[in-house]
Amino acid sequence: MGLGLSGFTDDDRNFQISKNLDLLNSIFKELDMFYVDSLDVEKVIQSSVDGMLSSTDPYTEYYPEEEESTLKEMTTGKYGGIGAAIRYYEAKDRIAIIEPTEGMPAAEAGVKAGDIILSVGGKEMVRGDMKPQDFSSKVSEALRGEPGTSFVLKVLRPLKNDSTVMEFKVTRKSIRTNPIPYFGMVRDSIGYLTLTGFTENCAKDFKKALISLKQQGAKSLIVDLRDNGGGSLTEAIDIVNYFVPKNQEILVTKGKLKQAQNSYKTQNEPLDERIPLVVLVNGSSASASEIVSGSLQDLDRAVIIGSRTFGKGLVQTIRPLPYNATLKVTTSKYYIPSGRCIQAIDYAKKNADGSVARIPDSLTTVFHTAAGREVRDGGGIRPDIEVKGDKIPNIVFYLMNDDLIFDYATQYCLEHPTLSSIEELKITDADYEAFKKLVKSRNFTYDRQSEKMLKTLKEIAEFEGYMEGASEEFKALEKKLSHNLDRDLDYFSKQIKSYLAEEIATRYFYQRGRAMERLKEDEDLEKAIEILKDPVRYHQILSAPEAKTTDEVAAAAVSSETKR
């Protein structure tokens, strides 16, 4: 009779489980029978489930039968519908089409971003007393259905000086989101591809793109995993396999149960074991993205560029429940080739208030790559070359939240019916003046952090009795930090123009356009190109510390070029 969790023997633990389940069942029955008002059964039970799961991690989730499609879409990237992103649009208190997917039913029927949904299949789509999120879910559910079924979609379409009601007959189909919205040659013989998620069969899409790039003359490759939140573990390993030998161990999972402990090795011969490779990552690159970038780093197979990744080293398993419900539960942690786990947060060690914190760098452990380079566990993947991008200005967040960037893109497209190429897209000074005019016409206001902090500081100064001697200084500071919309729109014009251009590019060329527009002024991309155009430096970064003499690295670079 061994010790279980929390110091209990196995028998003690089983008794505690049985006892507390009986108590939970009895409490609900007593409430249902004696509570003064009738209970919403599903709501009460859901609250109990939510409370139970809150003691685990954010990735352990319960999906009732009606949310099965959500889980399936998340894991496979497939669903039956029209292929369009939607969002609550406050100005009309309706749901707006945000982005039709290229080649899918909505786009094929003529639906455009900016269209306001009025009815689906003759059913009026009005919010009533629903929360915006619930309203969005209701409309999303109405748009989805069995592939092959048709309905009439009625929308309100903005025009230059007015709007008009339009109707489209849309036939649903099986929708699969494209995990590689763009790939192409970015400079001379350097190929580039962006992967947005590790959904079912994405490795096959990756392979096709890689082969196409090599046929176009790519002699080195940039793989963009920025903002890729992850997905299938096996798809990630298949992608790593394209660049490393067969039978290479990529991943080990370790969990409480024996079936959660596995070793994952590459199964096939690589497509290209020698092509110089750079992987771009950022703070939103997580899970499967970290398996790919971390494994290629541990095996000294790619130079990682960008900012430190999210740090999710947990593996989830789908467990079926009664009544067609599902539990997505964390069953193990994963360890990449160096032996490190990149999980950044220990959810088993929560603070008294329920909060959790990242593992501090001082408590992380040093591991080594195949060549002997130092890498660390416990905090995501640290890039070989860090590029700190600009933070999103506060004003941009509010411009997006108030749909001003979205609305200007709609207005721009009405005034420019066609755009021949992404290269042609440029936000001119006249365009930006038109945007500023739109912003001012809406009486736009936003929460400036400097003003909030100054107000807090004043309150503290008054409380502690320092205000009298510092009042003149506070007045001078208030004057300097006074809300000046014109000044802020001009000061942050470069960043705002960038977001405007991305939104507009998406209207003409869908996700492919957004990806291409982002590459126009991309520090990470430029650094990747710089490294790939310098074979000596590329091999120096991936070499063992003691072997990093210029002559040795240059010889290795020449040898690699010759073998390719």
Distance between CA atoms of 322 and 336, rounded to whole angstroms?
A: 35
At 237, which amino acid appears?
A: I
Structure tokens at 512: 């492919």
Distance between CA atoms of 536 and 50, rounded to whole angstroms?
A: 54
In degrees rounded to 5, what are phi and psi of residue 404? -75, -40
Which CA distances in Å does 291 have to 60, 74, 229, 237, 270? 20, 18, 11, 8, 17
Structure tokens at 564: 């390719």
With residue 63 as reference, give the H or E element that holds it.
Answer: strand 61-63
Alpha helices in 90-161 (DSSP H): 105-109, 132-143
379 and 367 Cβ atoms separated by less than 8 Å = no
**Catalytic site positions:** 287, 298, 312
In degrees rounded to 5, what are phi and psi of residue 187? -165, 120
Distance between CA atoms of 107 and 178, rounded to whole angstroms?
A: 15
Angle of the 202-215 helix axis to the 233-241 helix axis, nearest 10 = 20
What distance, in Å, lies between the first and last C-alpha atoms of the chain?
Answer: 60
Q: List own/partner pairs for 319-326 with CB under 8 A and 24 or more apart.
A: 321/62, 323/65, 324/65, 324/68, 325/62, 325/63, 325/64, 325/65, 326/62, 326/63, 326/68, 326/71
93 and 127 Cβ atoms separated by less than 8 Å = yes
> What does DSSP say about strands 190-194 and 220-224: parallel, antiparallel, or unpaired?
parallel
In a 3-state reduction of DSSP, which class is residue 561?
Answer: helix
In a 3-state reduction of DSSP, which class is residue 85?
Answer: strand
- Spell out the residues 6+ positions from residue 248 whose beta carbon is closer than 8 angstroms to its own: 241, 265, 266, 299, 337
In a 3-state reduction of DSSP, which class is residue 342?
Answer: coil
In a 3-state reduction of DSSP, which class is residue 376?
Answer: strand
310 and 227 Cβ atoms separated by less than 8 Å = no
> What does DSSP say about strands 220-224 and 277-281: parallel, antiparallel, or unpaired?
parallel
**β strands within 90-210, DSSP E:** 94-100, 116-120, 123-124, 150-158, 163-171, 173-176, 182-187, 190-194
In degrees rounded to 5, what are phi and psi of residue 78? -120, 150
Distance between CA atoms of 512 and 532, rounded to whole angstroms?
A: 24
Structure tokens at 100: 């039709």
